[in-house]
Amino acid sequence: MKRAGIKKDGHLHDLRRSYITWAMDRGANVKDVQIQVGHEDASTTLKIYAQGTTEGQQRVADLVDFPGPSGELVELPKSQAKA
């Protein structure tokens, strides 16, 4: 990790989360990622490892064709965000 320039408080396992997040953000099928990383269930891959990204959220918003002017993605404060 030192040779790779990874910050001191980083952990090797953090790379696993980054890999899974990047793969999912680039459109990888969750079942393929699940099998590749050895999870028994895809819910583990999604709940624990796959993190949303601003870029990914913007791509999703761009997929929806609303009438009227297009806008930019606006993040709500955590207290207003609904699951």
Element (H, E) at 82: none
Rounded to the nearest integer, the mean pLDDT of the chain is 79
pTM of the model: 0.58
Q: How far apart are CA 6 and CA 81, in angstroms?
A: 32
- Tell me the helices (H) and strands (E) count for the chain, helix number first: 4, 0
Q: Is the pLDDT of residue 65 over 90?
A: no
Please report which confidence band the pLDDT of residue 50 belongs to, taking 50, 70 and 90 as the band edges.
confident
Q: How far apart are CA 15 and CA 58, in angstroms?
A: 24
